Amino acid sequence: MTTPTQPTPRPLRLKIASDPANLAAARHSVESFAEQSGFDETSVGEIGLVVNEALANVMRHAYGGETDKPIQIDADPVVGDGNAIRIAIRDWGNGVNPAAQPPKEHDPLTPGGLGLVCMRKLMDETVYAPQSDGMLLTMTKSKAPKKRAG
């Protein structure tokens, strides 16, 4: 018996300003893309959380809180693998590579500081590629294998 294949969603292309007021709409758009790509509810939530954290980090750290700077968000199925998606977040900020920074000890009583941890734990691959005028973050996530009863 064959199972119907999930239709491939159209690539998602978003351009937003670095205003925190844009976080929810961007997150929901990426979650919708993940859902249309066949990800389960848990994975959709994880993808949304990671995108939210990545965008908040761009706004806070790359742009220093400025609310009128550009951010490009692209989400695509991974070519040749209908079981994975790739999300790219491009900014034109300070170009500091957070993956190259020394790890900070997390104080559970202080808010923040978990965005990078979430990205590493919840995505299959997280790559920061410094650009001459900013940063390109690319994250990939595969669908979890379906658990079989029995």
Question: Is 117 among the domain residues?
Answer: yes
Q: Where are the alpha helices (DSSP H) in the chain?
A: 23-36, 41-57, 115-122
**What are 70-90's pLDDT values in tens digits?**
999 999 998 776 789 999 999
The number of helix segments (H) and strand segments (E) in the chain equals 3, 5
Looking up residue 80, the CATH number of its domain turns out to be 3.30.565.10
Question: Is residue 6 situated within a structural domain?
Answer: no
Q: Does 149 have pLDDT greater than 50? A: no
Q: What is the pTM of this model?
A: 0.85
7, part of any domain: no
Domain count, the chain: 1
Phi and psi dihedrals of 98, rounded to 5? -65, -30
Residue 35: inside a domain: yes
Range of the domain at 26: 12-99+111-142
The answer to whether residue 106 is domain-embedded is: no
Per-residue model confidence as pLDDT tens digits over 105-148: 666 565 556 678 888 899 999 999 999 999 999 999 999 654 44
